[in-house]
Each structure stands twice: as structure tokens, then as C-alpha cells.
Structure 1
Amino acid sequence: MNFDGVWTPVVTPFTQEGSIDFAALPPVIDSLIGHGIHGLIVGGTTGEYYALSNGERKKLFDAVSELAGGRIPLMAGINATTTEESLDLGRYAKSAGFNCILLAAPYYCQPTQDELLAHACTVDDALDMPTMLYNFPARTGTAMSFEFIDALKQRPNFQAIKESTGSIERMHTLTQDYAGQLQVSCGMDDQVLEFFTWGARSWVAGASNFLAPEHVALYRTCVVEQDMIAGRKLASRLLPMLNLLEQGGKFCQYIKYGCELAGLPVGPTRRPLLPLGEDEKAAFARTYEQLIAHRG
């Protein structure tokens, strides 16, 4: 499978009472598809999968699959604390029409590399789906070592990796030494220009929920047109926002507030994540308005 392009980890809309607001999903999905996003991810960190029950995650798979209607590739995030739950979610997503899966290390339990390998192979044997690995040890507690990646070389379903460590050195190794095995997808938004410069052709971007035109334009300029000078100008306009998101400590809250400013209200985050304060909203809004002032 080709993982080129901008993949949006879709936000999960909530009502003020905390239930999933399925009525808020259609405008989000239609906006992303209309702006040329290349793929949708349901069950990513931006979608607050960790705050959802197994049943809620399945309902989201069904809802987005129906709304997408075959117009765009769909990736299912199936991360969980146990292998069995990941398998259950993966089987359901496959039956719902998803094209591929996003697989991170089971969080909190901190498996060893051998245990992580056994987990990944079990999922692969059971689901037989194109897979993007998700290396985000700051969230999961477990890194995906190069030895782990080497051990998957003979398994063709493992086709890409979303790299979210922030290590430029590791990104260099993946793009230069593992290019024949895995597509590398940018998982650190404030490093996207570096990823594209070193050959990455994929970007999993939370802020594309509300800044899809800017994300697609940067991808097209850097990857399709290979114009890194023009790309640097575009990236420099995006960078204040990407820095705020990656370094502000309230990623999901900012993404959802960005959707609100873009005319796509998706409600609050689930507790324990609390709403933004008025000063935080004002600072974010200034950054957002300065960015979109360049549109057109």
C-alpha cells in the first residue's frame, strides 16, 4: 500500500456532557476530503482513543467508514493495553472496510522488544493488513528499536512507520537505511520540513483537522514538486502553530479549539484533559489568525 500524502488522525467530537457527538463528524470528514487530504486515521492519539471504550471505538469505525463512502483510504488505530483487544479492534475495523492499520506499542505495560515483536507478529498473522508502525515512546513507554524493525523485514505487511521520537538522528537512519523496507511518515509536526528534505513522503498531522489546505500545500510543494525553497517558506508560516502544538502541552485541546475557529466545532476533550484557559485561547487564536491571513 502507498502511504504517501497527508494522513489526518481524525478528532473525536464530544458533546458538553461527554458522549460522542456523531452529528459533528460529517462536516469534519467532508472538509478533509474536500481539501485533498490523502487518508484518514480513526483511533489515533488526536482522536483520544485512550479515552474511549472498545464499543465506542468500533462505533467510530462504522461511522467514519460510512461517511467516507470509499472516497479516501482509511487507517484504523488499534492500539490497546493487550494483544487481544488490539486483535478485536483490528478484526472489527477490517470488517468495516478499513484499508490498513496503525500499530503502536501497547501502552503502560512496557513490553520488552521480544514481547513487542510477538505482539506485532500475532496481529499480523491474525489480520493480514498493510500496517504503519507508530513509534511514540513518550506516550507508550516503549520504543521500537532498530532490532525490532529488522525482525519484521520478512513480513511484507509492515510497510511504514510513523516516527514520533523527535530524534533527527533516528529519522536520518530510517530514511537512509530502511527506505527499502518502510515508508517513513513524519510524526513530529515541527520537524516536517526535515522529514521531507530527507525523503519522507508521508505525514500524519493532527493540525490538518483544521489546517488541511496548508498541510496539503506543503506536502505538494516539498514532495510532489520537490521545491524545498518554496517549501521552506510555507513551513516557516506553519512553524509557529506547529511549535505551539508540539511544545504547548495541550495538543488535543489546541486541535479541537483550532477546529472550532475553522468553523468545525467538535466539543471538548474528555477528562482528565481540561479546557483551555482564556489566555491560552487568545494566544492560539492570534497564531491561527496570522497563519490563515496568508490564504489565497
Structure 2
Amino acid sequence: MSSSWRGVFAAATTQFNKDQSLNLKSTLAHVDVMIDAGLHGLIMLGTVGENYSLEQPEKLEVLRATVDHVAGRVPVLTGVAEYTTKLACRYAADAKAIGVDGLMVLPPMVYKTAPRETIAHFRTVASATDLPIMVYNNPVTYGVDLTPEMFQELADQPTLVAIKESSENVRRITDLKNACGDRYTLLAGVDDLVLESLMLGAEGWVSGLVNAFPAENRLLWDLAEAGRWDEALEVYRWYMPLLHLDTFPKLVQYIKLAVQECGYGSEMVRAPRLTLEGEERERILAIIRKGIADRPRIPATA
């Protein structure tokens, strides 16, 4: 099984009303903004989509509405972030029935699996579905690291087609290439390491800040894709203070505040997360507003 997952994929937000109930209308309007700006795919219900803050019926409601609304314009993937392997397999089956194009599978939540357990989890989920799978490797957040050697061991699972590499160790791109060749499609998963990752061989970018700056994400991607590195670097340096917001424990609050400031949705999050207040909110707002004020001009042919 091969993957055509290249380009900019949005780790999309899930929009909520003030009472923290789902706001599907706003979620889908935001999806349209990003598709219209030229992103190449959507990942619903990842970390930024607050997967594990939603109940199971709500997750399926979001997926059903998104798949129907997008109607094949771009691939729609869903995060698979469950407490047990069995629950992950069940969710994968439910997502396939709804019509998603693929899965982004995380390690089990809460329990930090040892390498043998991690491999068993991904093998079991991969064997339970014929949907293509992007493996999300984020040891910084989730405490489980899939090493290049582990990906070598998993290479015989045909449904495992891509890796979202979020270890914050950009050396991993080269190590994965050396260990696995072109077996997997590699996607940068840390916003403020994206240009380095693309230069080293990543073929895509799963982004959080694309929720607020979709045209600028696409501009940076296009410049890098064309090998226009000096121009890409200029955009990257403007973007970097904003991209750093993707690397903090409160990345969801920071990104949603940027989305609100850019006029694409609400900063509302679901508890236990709370919206920002006080000095922290003013500090993050200053970064966002400076980025908006100084944003690069988007060429008509970018």
C-alpha cells in the first residue's frame, strides 16, 4: 500500500460553543477556509482537535459531518487516540464505516508502553483495518518513542504507510531514511522544525498553526517545494515566533486564540483545558498580533 499524503495537512481544531458543546457549523466553516487556501489534507481529532476531550459519539459526529462536507476535496484522516488497543481497533472500524480516507494512530493513552508493547499495539491496529495509517511519533507529549529500528520492524505491515515525526529531533528524518529508505512517507510534525525537515527529505507537514495562517503555510510549502530556499527562509523567520506556539503544553489554547484573532473561529476549549487569561493571554496575543501585522504578502501565483 502506498501513500499520496504529501503537502500541508491541517491538524484541525474542533470548534465549541460557549457552553463547550460541539459547534459543527463553525468547525466546517473553518475547514473550508483552509481548503480554500490550498492545504492538501485534513486530520480531524488529533491533539489540536482535542480528541480525548470528546466522547465517542461526539467523535463520530465530527467525522461524519466533516466527511460529508468535504466530499472528497481533500483526504480526511482521523486521529486514533484511545486508552486500549481494542478501543483503537473499534474506533478505526467506526471511522472506516463513516468514510474517512485514513488514520493517524497514536500510542495508547495514559499507560506508557514499552517498545515490545508499542510494536504490538501498532501491529494489531494495522492488522484490524485496510485503511492507510500515519503513525504519530511524539515522545515529548505522549512519552512513547518509536525509533527508526522499531519502524524497520513494523515495515512488513502494509497499512502503515506514513510517519508524522514529532520527536523534536530533526536528525530522525535522516535516521529514518537511512534505516527504512522510502518505505514510509515522512511528514514533519513540529511546526518550528518544518523547514529543516523538508530540506532533509520530509514530503509533508502536519501543522497546527495552519489553522490560523493557512495561506502562509501554503506559501512556505510552495517555496520549499520549488527549492526557493532564500525566500522560504525569509517567510520562516517571520513565522517562527508563531510556530513556536505549537511546542508548548497549551498549544491548543494558543492555536485557538490565533484562530480567533484571525477571524476563523473561537478560542473556546473543553475542560480540563481553560481559555487563557491574565499575563499569559496578553503575552500570546502580542505574538499573534505582531505576526498578523507583519505577515508576508502572498503572491498571486504562490
TM-score, normalization by structure 1? 0.94
Residue range with higher mean Cα deviation, 234-243 or 200-209? 234-243
Are 2:269 and 1:288 equivalent residues in the alignment?
no
1:96 offset after TM fit, Å? 1.2
- Which of the numbers 64, 67, 72 marks the counterpart of 1:62? 64
Q: Any stretches of 5+ residues in structure 1 without a counterpart?
A: none
| Counterpart amino acid of residue 254 in structure 1 | Y
Superposition map of 1:205-284 within 5 A:
205-223=207-225, 225-247=226-248, 249-277=249-277, 278-284=281-287
Q: Please identify, of 175-184 and 118-127, the stretch whose mean Cα deviation from structure 2 is larger.
A: 175-184
Correspondence for 1:90 among 89, 92, 101: 92
List alignment gaps of at least 5 residues for structure 2: none
Match of 2:162 in 1: 160
Matched residue SS, 2:128: helix
CA distance in 1, matches of 2:193, 2:172: 13
Q: Which amino acid aligns with 2:154?
A: L
Q: C-alpha displacement at 1:293, in angstroms?
A: 5.7
Between stretches 104-113 and 138-147, larger displacement belongs to: 138-147
Name 2:76's counterpart in structure 1.
Answer: 74
CA deviations 1:145-165 (Å, max 9, x no partner) are: 223211111122211111111
In 2, distance between residues paired with 1:228 and 1:284? 25
Structure 2 CA distance, aligned partners of 1:258 and 1:207?
8
Q: CA deviation at 1:95?
A: 1.1
Query: Could you report, residue by residue, the CA deviation over 1:52-99 in whole angstroms, capped at 9, with x for unpaired residues?
Result: 111111111101111101111111111211112111211111111111
What is the CA distance between 1:245 and its match in structure 2?
3.4
Aligned 8 A contact 2:148 2:180 in 1: no
Matches of 1:208 and 1:279, distance apart in 2? 21
Q: Does structure 1 residue 101 correspond to structure 2 residue 120?
A: no
Measure, in 1, the Cα distance between the counterparts of 2:93 and 2:127: 12
Report SS of the residue matched to 2:48. helix
Paired AA for residue 230 in structure 2: I
1:8-157 map, 5 Å: 8-157=10-159
Following TM superposition, by how much is the alpha carbon of 1:8 offset from its aligned partner in structure 2, in angstroms?
0.4
Aligned-partner Cα distance in 1 for 2:215–2:61: 28
Contact 2:151–2:180 at 8 Å: present in 1 too? Answer: no
Q: Which residue of 2 aligns with 1:182?
A: 184
For residue 197 of structure 1, what is the aligned residue in structure 2?
Answer: 199
Deviation (angstroms), 1:295: 4.4
User: What is the distance in 2 between the residues matched to 1:269 and 1:294?
Assistant: 31
Paired with 2:222 and 2:298, the residues of 1 have a C-alpha distance of 16
Residues in 1 aligned to 2:156 and 2:294: alpha-carbon distance in whole angstroms: 44
The CA RMSD over aligned residues, in Å, is 1.6
Q: CA deviation at 1:14?
A: 0.8
* Number of aligned residues: 294
Is the aligned partner of 1:5 residue 2:7? Answer: yes
Deviations 1:191-220 (A, max 9, x none): 111001111110000111111111111111
Once residues 209 and 241 of structure 1 are traced to their aligned partners in structure 2, the CA distance between those partners, rounded to angstroms, is: 12
* More deviation, 161-170/138-147: 138-147
**Percent identity between the aligned chains?**
28
